[in-house]
């Protein structure tokens, strides 16, 4: 996780030498109190609308304090982060920066600590904050009110987990992911793009962003000329140019590739076919559509298993000439060795936008797609999920788009923007690309089915050992095996930083101990079992509220729960699904500690602790939903 969301700067972890404590009922008598009171009321809304993460809510409070303390410095953003030190739950780290800004000027402040003290003094009245303390270097440590944490959880249980959605500064985004090769079956190499892209889309959608899920297939490149020409040779009349002529998709691709590599005459025909396809000749367009449709049926088998939904978009070709013309009019396109290219600063090789034979390529399509997505689809964030090997290509495409003024010149957090989400390789036990024993790439359908079958076998054995196999129907076994098996494959990938390679191992991912989907799904099922065994009406308990965080482990669990929104926010804005996985695993571990030290059923605090159990289960289910994993309710 980034330092901003999870760790405090080293200086902030020193002992608080000067302390300013405030009870949650603290009321301000400053001139800003009326304005502040309104802010506090907004944050305490009990409506179904999202109020933002805890960090976002604290930032609003400290923004008001900054404005009151430094009325002439209105552009200063609050620097609020989670504290890992023992002095608080959160920190505000503006004092050092403000001191650097005003040091040497005529000011009432003598050092960063005095600024921290002033910021605390000018804090609005808020139910959120139990107390604050100012460290020597000016860092403000914040302790949240137990009563506020409890109320925040109670409101979520009543109004839904959607009220904990983070608020991010984007209304519409395009997530371009999966993008398998036409006429080739999806293999393990497509796994990462598909599930990482799906998770990013899910997190953005949960954050109330309209997401256009794009599966960009069917680029009219050299491979299509090769496939179409081979199809015409197999079916000269073109009348049965379909599944019967193509037969097995993978074999058809291999045969056409072999001929392309060995037959110079065929290769020349294939290259000309690309130009004729791009030129719109009906015969070539129809062949292209047929090959795409057959491929689409193959892809659907994988998407159905993974629960992934995409919208296929391959219509950019007609817009390419206009895009190239605009780039040319802006003086970006030049002739080079018969091709038309854009030279990019810092790159030795130019970006080819029109090949020497007049055909288009990936750069042509990608630039046109960016232009279309920004202007026609009004996207504010365009996200491409491909392997790290394509990073340089996208860097050049984005640079050309900035030079054309399609994207802002600045590269950073401002929108609209385009981002490349790179990822590493899937490796086998030998440390090389994951393949079958015959050195073939592993078909994704086969891999997913094996995970499911292994899970079903393990589940049946577990149930038989406990004498419970007869209590399960075949449908329940199959559904649970699918949820755990497919979920295990997804989680084993997503829990890693996407930029790193990871080793694919069924034994590791299907282990029911440690940081695996199996462990987490079973942990969720155990929580559901606790609630069922209580025989209490959870809906009635929710209406009554009454969560208490008097025990230390109750508070630790409650605090972890309310941090959910900012974790999703960080995972979204940094495009890192592993941040959410880490939170989910830590939540499970935190719940285990709570359950070990705090008796639930039969205790005086049963109602409160059952609500904490329910809140944990709700948040875990939402994490599963964002990761594309189906929850399990019984084991």
| Token pair in block for residue 324 | 């190239």
Q: What is the pLDDT of residue 485?
A: 96
Residue 26 has pLDDT above 50, yes or no: no
What is the 3 state secondary structure string of 409-478? CCCCCCCCEEEEECCCCEECCCCCECECCCCCECEHHHHHHHHHHHHHHHHHHHHHHCCCHHHCCHHHHH
Summarised one tens digit per residue, pLDDT across range 158-168 is 999 999 999 99
Domain final position from 277, 307, 337: 307
Domain final position from 307, 329, 345: 307
| Token pair in block for residue 563 | 């941090």
Query: How many domains does the chain fold into?
Result: 4
pLDDT winner (highest mean) among 202-206, 280-284, 461-465: 202-206
The residue ranking higher by pLDDT, 361 or 278, is: 361
> Nearest to residue 507, comparing CAs of 579, 438, 444, 428?
428
- Residue 235 and residue 112 share a domain: no
The residue ranking higher by pLDDT, 46 or 400, is: 400
Beta-strand relationship, 80-82 and 140-144: unpaired
Domain final position from 258, 283, 307: 307
Cα–Cα distance for residue pair 254/503, rounded to 1 Å: 28
- Residue 212 and residue 298 share a domain: no
The residue ranking higher by pLDDT, 272 or 616, is: 616
Residue 7 has pLDDT above 50, yes or no: no
Q: Give the domain CATH number at 477.
A: 1.10.730.10
Q: What is the pLDDT of residue 22?
A: 37
Which stretch of 122-131, 182-191, 433-442, 478-487 has the lowest confidence by average pLDDT? 433-442
Which stretch of 361-375, 405-419, 479-493 has the lowest confidence by average pLDDT? 405-419
The reply to whether 169 falls in a domain is no
Q: What is the pLDDT of residue 33?
A: 34
Q: At 384, is the pLDDT very low, low, confident or very high (cuts 50, 70, 90)?
A: very high
Q: What is the pLDDT of residue 603?
A: 96
- E strands of 201-242, at which residues? 210-215
Residue 45 has pLDDT above 70, yes or no: no
- E strands of 461-522, at which residues? 502-503
The reply to whether 45 falls in a domain is no
| Token pair in block for residue 634 | 């019984």
The reply to whether 14 falls in a domain is no
Across the chain, what does the average pLDDT equal?
A: 87
Summarised one tens digit per residue, pLDDT across range 74-98 is 789 999 999 987 889 999 999 999 9
Residue 604 has pLDDT above 60, yes or no: yes
The reply to whether 22 falls in a domain is no
- Residue 391 and residue 475 share a domain: no
Residues with Cβ within 8 Å of residue 38, at least 6 apart in sequence: none
What mean pLDDT is predicted for residues 346-360? 91
Beta-strand relationship, 172-176 and 140-144: unpaired
Cα–Cα distance for residue pair 306/444, rounded to 1 Å: 10
User: ∠ at Cα 158 (152, 161), nearest 5°?
Assistant: 70
Please classify residue 538 by burial: count the beta carbons closer than 10 Å to its beta carbon, then call 0-12 exposed, 13-18 middle and 19+ buried.
middle
Q: What is the pLDDT of residue 359?
A: 83
Summarised one tens digit per residue, pLDDT across range 549-596 is 999 999 999 999 999 999 999 999 999 999 999 999 999 999 999 999
Do residues 308 and 178 lie in contact, with contact meaning Cβ atoms separated by under 8 Å?
A: yes
Residues with Cβ within 8 Å of residue 235, at least 6 apart in sequence: 241, 245
Residue 597 has pLDDT above 60, yes or no: yes
- Residue 400 and residue 349 share a domain: yes
Residue 31 has pLDDT above 80, yes or no: no
- Residue 329 and residue 213 share a domain: yes
Cα–Cα distance for residue pair 199/624, rounded to 1 Å: 10
Q: What is the pLDDT of residue 17?
A: 38
Q: What is the pLDDT of residue 103?
A: 85
Quote the domain boundaries for residue 88: 54-144
- Residue 623 and residue 505 share a domain: yes
The reply to whether 157 falls in a domain is no
Residue 19 has pLDDT above 60, yes or no: no
Q: At 107, is the pLDDT very low, low, confident or very high (cuts 50, 70, 90)?
A: confident
- Residue 377 and residue 303 share a domain: no
| Token pair in block for residue 587 | 């939540």
The residue ranking higher by pLDDT, 44 or 308, is: 308
Q: What is the pLDDT of residue 28?
A: 34
Beta bridge partners of 102: none
- Residue 612 and residue 531 share a domain: yes
- Residue 360 and residue 259 share a domain: no
Do residues 379 and 330 lie in contact, with contact meaning Cβ atoms separated by under 8 Å?
A: no
Which stretch of 34-48, 164-178, 316-330, 458-472 has the lowest confidence by average pLDDT? 34-48
Q: Give the domain CATH number at 422.
A: 3.40.50.620
- Residue 134 and residue 109 share a domain: yes
DSSP conformation class of 68: H
Q: At 55, is the pLDDT very low, low, confident or very high (cuts 50, 70, 90)?
A: very high
- Residue 598 and residue 481 share a domain: yes
Do residues 132 and 142 lie in contact, with contact meaning Cβ atoms separated by under 8 Å?
A: yes
- What region, left, alpha or beta, does residue 183 occupy, with left being phi > 0 and alpha being psi -120 to 50 degrees? left
Which stretch of 44-48, 70-74, 103-107, 609-613 has the lowest confidence by average pLDDT? 44-48
The reply to whether 366 falls in a domain is yes
Summarised one tens digit per residue, pLDDT across range 217-229 is 755 667 788 888 8
Cα–Cα distance for residue pair 58/126, rounded to 1 Å: 9
- Residue 344 and residue 203 share a domain: yes
Q: What is the pLDDT of residue 91?
A: 96
The reply to whether 153 falls in a domain is no
Do residues 389 and 181 lie in contact, with contact meaning Cβ atoms separated by under 8 Å?
A: no
The reply to whether 35 falls in a domain is no
């Amino acid at each position: 996780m980034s330092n901003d969301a999870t760790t405090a700067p080293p200086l902030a972890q020193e002992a608080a030498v000067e302390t300013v404590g405030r009870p949650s009922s603290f009321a301000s008598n400053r001139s800003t109190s009326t304005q502040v009171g309104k802010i506090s009321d907004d944050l305490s809304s009990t409506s179904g609308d999202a109020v933002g993460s805890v960090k976002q809510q604290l930032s609003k409070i400290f923004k008001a304090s900054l404005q009151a303390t430094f009325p002439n410095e209105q552009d200063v953003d609050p620097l609020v982060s989670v504290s890992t030190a023992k002095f608080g739950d959160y920190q505000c780290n503006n004092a050092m920066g403000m001191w650097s800004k005003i040091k040497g000027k005529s000011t009432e402040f003598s050092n960063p600590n005095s600024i921290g003290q002033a910021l605390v003094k000018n804090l609005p009245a808020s139910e959120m904050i139990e107390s604050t303390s100012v460290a020597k270097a000016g860092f403000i440590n914040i302790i949240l009110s137990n009563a506020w944490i409890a109320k925040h959880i109670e409101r979520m249980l009543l109004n839904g987990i959607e009220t904990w959605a983070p608020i991010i500064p984007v209304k519409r985004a395009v997530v371009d992911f999966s993008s398998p090769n036409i006429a080739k079956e999806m293999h393990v190499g497509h796994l990462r793009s598909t599930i990482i892209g799906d998770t990013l889309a899910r997190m953005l959608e949960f954050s109330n962003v309209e997401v256009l899920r794009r599966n960009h297939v069917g680029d009219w490149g050299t491979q299509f000329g090769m496939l179409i020409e081979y199809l015409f040779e197999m079916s000269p009349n073109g009348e049965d140019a379909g599944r019967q002529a193509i037969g097995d998709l993978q074999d058809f691709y291999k045969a056409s590739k072999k001929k392309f590599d060995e037959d110079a005459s065929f290769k020349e025909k294939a290259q000309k076919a690309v130009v004729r396809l791009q030129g719109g000749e009906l015969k070539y367009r129809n062949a292209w559509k047929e090959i795409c449709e057959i491929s689409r049926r193959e892809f659907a088998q994988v998407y159905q298993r993974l629960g992934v939904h995409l919208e296929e978009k391959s219509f950019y070709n007609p817009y390419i000439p206009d895009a190239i013309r605009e780039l040319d009019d802006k003086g970006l396109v030049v002739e080079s060795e018969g091709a038309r290219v854009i030279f990019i600063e810092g790159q030795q090789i130019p970006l080819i936008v029109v090949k020497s034979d007049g055909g288009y390529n990936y750069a042509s399509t990608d630039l046109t797609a960016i232009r279309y997505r920004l202007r026609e689809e009004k996207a504010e964030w365009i996200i491409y999920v491909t392997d790290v090997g394509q990073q340089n290509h996208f860097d050049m495409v984005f640079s050309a788009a900035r030079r054309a003024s399609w994207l802002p010149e600045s590269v950073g957090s401002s929108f609209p923007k385009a981002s490349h989400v790179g990822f590493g390789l899937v490796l086998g036990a030998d440390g090389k690309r994951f393949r079958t024993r015959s050195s073939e790439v592993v078909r994704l359908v086969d891999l997913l089915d094996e995970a499911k079958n292994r899970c079903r076998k393990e589940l049946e054995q577990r149930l038989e050992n406990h004498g419970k196999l007869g209590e399960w129907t075949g449908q329940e076994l199959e559904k649970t095996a699918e949820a755990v098996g497919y979920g295990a494959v997804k989680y084993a990938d997503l829990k890693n930083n996407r930029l790193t390679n990871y080793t694919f191992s069924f034994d590791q991912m299907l282990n029911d101990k440690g940081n695996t989907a199996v462990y987490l799904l079973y942990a969720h099922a155990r929580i559901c079992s606790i609630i069922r065994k209580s025989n209490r009406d959870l809906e009635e308990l929710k209406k009554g509220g009454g969560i208490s965080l008097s025990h230390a482990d109750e508070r630790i669990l409650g605090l972890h729960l309310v941090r959910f929104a900012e974790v999703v926010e960080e995972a979204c804005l940094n495009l890192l699904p592993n941040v959410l996985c880490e939170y989910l695993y830590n939540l499970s571990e935190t719940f285990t500690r709570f359950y070990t030290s705090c008796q639930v059923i039969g205790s005086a605090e049963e109602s409160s602790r059952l609500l904490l159990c329910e809140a944990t289960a709700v948040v875990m289910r939402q994490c599963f939903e964002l990761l594309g994993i189906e929850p399990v309710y019984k084991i």
